[in-house]
Amino acid sequence: MLVRVRSGAVLGVSAVPVDVEVEASLGFPGFHLVGLAGGAVQEAKVRVAAAVRNLGVKLPSKRFTVNLAPGDLRKEGTGFDLPIAAGLLAATEELPPEALEGIQLVGELGLSGEVKPVRGVLPLAIEARRAGARGLVVPEPNALEAAVVERLDVLPVRHLGELVAWARGHAPLPPRAPAAPEPPASPLDLADVAGQEAAKRALEVAAAGGHNLLFFGPPGSGKTMLARRLAGILPTLTFEEALEATVVHSVAGLTRHRGLLVERPFRAPHHSISDAGLVGGTSSPRPGEISLAHHGVLFLDELPEFRRHVLEALRQPLEDGEVTIARAGRSVTYPSQLMLVAAMNPCPCGHHGDRTRACRCTAHELLKYRRRISGPLLDRIDLHVDVPPVAPGQLGGAGGGEPSAEVRDRVARARRLQLERVGTRGARCNARLRGAALRRFCAPDDAGRRLLADAVARLGLSARAHDKVLRVARTIADLAGAERVSAEHVAEAIQYRVLDRPT
């Protein structure tokens, strides 16, 4: 008897349909799995056989052939366990095959028949709805993320026996309703930061335009404190942004027992991270930290302590907003539209330029330390901001500055202006403006043009840095409610390029 069960495979942040074909025929008894199955899929034979046996079902002595179609697509992961088991039981008439029509299945099986969670259920649910499935059977821990998809019955199961009882009509599988969005946690407040008005202003500008930002200054000046408060002044995620970010987290296996993301991601990896951990990779490509920060913030503290080749791998994703990971015979693309926020000391001892403590570093040590950050990478960071030590009189009391809520309102107004200017099909923020849109919307007045030309000649700014000054100036004008970029806006934007090295 031949039975076909619907499932799917995850490729990057999308999914493709996979037919699990199971045939029970006469011949030498055995269990054969074909269809370009990876190691974890091949091991499904052992898990499925044990789960069916512990269900109390004795399989007949037949030749079982399982084909995962299409055969030229490599299958990875443990999500095919449940559809293989369902097909095996249907092929041996232990459950009616018609009960599985229009249903897609995904899930890992334990030896006892327990259904365990898997990665990438959200893109599988999106593909199931697109393919016209009437329902999707998923492990119970994955039900909340799958329920995000509308017009699709999500049927959670905890044990293979529940699926068999439902297919036989003995017990229902109630569909999981979408979870009500949880209120986001109270973010860290910008009002807690004492002093540092210039750095707070730069943080607001970066948030308003989606610009990359580098804080540099001595230890204890508040660089990390400021960076961790960036998420609290960013606009609320739109549904489309939340769905895109949640899909990436689903592929990484971070959405179990969770629905749609309600807060912008904030990722802060340690400086010992590998390039595969930051950008993505391994033999079976997984999203890295830059993709997990999609539509959010990637914070790199102690920037020079990261290995140079790891930092250099950031250059292309920061420019393109996506990263493509190529492996033998396949490649996957993950999104990486994020805000990069980094912090670093001015020198190895941390006190170069500090008026209160003397620097102990030699000129060679200082030069070597600064050269850990390449010029091309600095070019891709829009704002370079000095964070000096806080004055002693400002320590020990309340921050006394504006709360994050007030700054967020200004940021949100500036973002709305940007969307109205470019339309729904254009760049979502000024940092993403390219080509004709950059020339049209960021062109300064005559005085601003002359000022920028002088700065390019005096500081030796690259063409990329020139364009970044224009984008930052456009954001400053948006915060001021100005229709045209003026010399005043360009002057402030130029101040944020202090680490550019003259030629």
- The CATH number linked to 469 is 1.10.8
On average, the pLDDT of the chain sits at 91
What's the whole-number mean pLDDT along residues 30-58?
A: 94
* Residue 178 pLDDT: 82
H-assigned helices in 323-403:
363-370, 375-379
* Residue 59 pLDDT: 87
* Residue 134 pLDDT: 93
The most confident of the ranges 292-301, 311-320, 350-359 is 292-301
Tell me how far apart the alpha carbons of residues 482 and 473 are, in angstroms, rounded to a whole number.
Answer: 11
- Kindly calculate the radius of gyration of the chain based on its CA atoms and give it in whole angstroms: 27
Q: pLDDT band at 503, cuts 50/70/90?
A: very low
Task: Domain count for the chain, please give it.
Answer: 3
Say if CB 280 and CB 291 are below 8 A apart.
yes
Q: Are residues 420 and 441 in the same domain?
A: no
What's the whole-number mean pLDDT along residues 298-320?
A: 94
Cβ contacts of 408 within 8 Å, gap of 6 or more: 232, 233, 234, 235
What's the whole-number mean pLDDT along residues 230-237?
A: 92
Flag whether pLDDT at 230 surpasses 50: yes
Q: Are residues 409 and 440 in the same domain?
A: no
Say if CB 498 and CB 384 are below 8 A apart.
yes
When mean pLDDT is compared across 3-12, 67-76, 280-289, 309-318, the lowest value belongs to 280-289
Say if CB 216 and CB 346 are below 8 A apart.
yes
Q: Are residues 381 and 476 in the same domain?
A: no
Sheet containing 103-105, strands listed edge to edge, beginning at the edge strand earlier in sequence: 30-34, 63-69, 14-25, 2-11, 103-105, 135-139, 153-157
Domain that holds residue 151: 2-167
In a domain, 101, yes or no: yes
In a domain, 379, yes or no: yes
Say if CB 383 and CB 214 are below 8 A apart.
yes
Domain closes at, from 392, 426, 460: 426
Tell me how far apart the alpha carbons of residues 210 and 195 are, in angstroms, rounded to a whole number.
Answer: 24
Tell me how far apart the alpha carbons of residues 172 and 288 are, in angstroms, rounded to a whole number.
Answer: 39
pLDDT tens digits for range 373-421: 998 899 899 999 999 888 776 676 555 678 999 999 999 999 999 999 8
Say if CB 493 and CB 451 are below 8 A apart.
no
Cβ contacts of 425 within 8 Å, gap of 6 or more: none
Q: Are residues 42 and 147 in the same domain?
A: yes
Tell me how far apart the alpha carbons of residues 463 and 469 are, in angstroms, rounded to a whole number.
Answer: 10
Q: Are residues 68 and 41 in the same domain?
A: yes
pLDDT tens digits for range 153-177: 999 999 999 999 999 999 999 999 8
Flag whether pLDDT at 1 surpasses 90: no
Q: pLDDT band at 422, cuts 50/70/90?
A: confident
Q: Are residues 442 and 408 in the same domain?
A: no
Tell me how far apart the alpha carbons of residues 443 and 160 are, in angstroms, rounded to a whole number.
Answer: 63
66 bridge partner residues: 22, 33
Tell me how far apart the alpha carbons of residues 50 and 493 are, in angstroms, rounded to a whole number.
Answer: 65
Q: Are residues 211 and 338 in the same domain?
A: yes
User: CA angle, 279 as apex, 278 and 281 as ends, to 5°?
Assistant: 105
Q: pLDDT band at 187, cuts 50/70/90?
A: confident
pLDDT tens digits for range 264-297: 999 999 999 999 899 987 767 889 999 999 999 9
Query: What is the CB neighbour count within 10 angstroms for residue 439?
Result: 12
- Residues 154-157: contacts with CB under 8 Å, at least 24 apart: 154/125, 155/103, 157/82, 157/107, 157/115
Say if CB 381 and CB 213 are below 8 A apart.
yes
Cβ contacts of 227 within 8 Å, gap of 6 or more: 213, 215, 297, 299, 301, 341, 343
* Residue 400 pLDDT: 64
* Residue 398 pLDDT: 56
Q: Are residues 405 and 463 in the same domain?
A: no
Place of tokens 């000022």: 451
Q: Supply the DSSP string of 80-109, one letter for each residue.
A: THHHHHHHHHHHTTSS-GGGGTTEEE--EE
In a domain, 174, yes or no: no
Q: Are residues 328 and 413 in the same domain?
A: yes
> What percentage of the chain reaches a pLDDT higher than 90?
76
Strand runs labelled E in 213-281: 213-216, 266-267, 280-281
Q: Are residues 416 and 447 in the same domain?
A: no
Which DSSP helix (H) or strand (E) runs through 154?
strand 153-157
In a domain, 283, yes or no: yes
In a domain, 36, yes or no: yes
Q: What secondary structure letter does DSSP report for 449?
A: H
In a domain, 399, yes or no: yes
Q: Are residues 397 and 471 in the same domain?
A: no
* Residue 250 pLDDT: 96
CATH for 255 = 3.40.50.300
Q: What is the bridge-based pairing of β-strands 286-287 and 280-281? A: antiparallel
CATH for 108 = 3.30.230.10
Domain closes at, from 426, 455, 480: 426
* Residue 183 pLDDT: 67
Q: Are residues 64 and 150 in the same domain?
A: yes
Q: Which tokens belong to 485?
A: 């970029």
In a domain, 185, yes or no: no
Q: What is the three-state SS of 455-489?
A: HHHHHCCCHHHHHHHHHHHHHHHHHHCCCCECHHH
Cβ contacts of 472 within 8 Å, gap of 6 or more: 205, 209, 211, 382, 383, 430, 493, 496
In a domain, 90, yes or no: yes
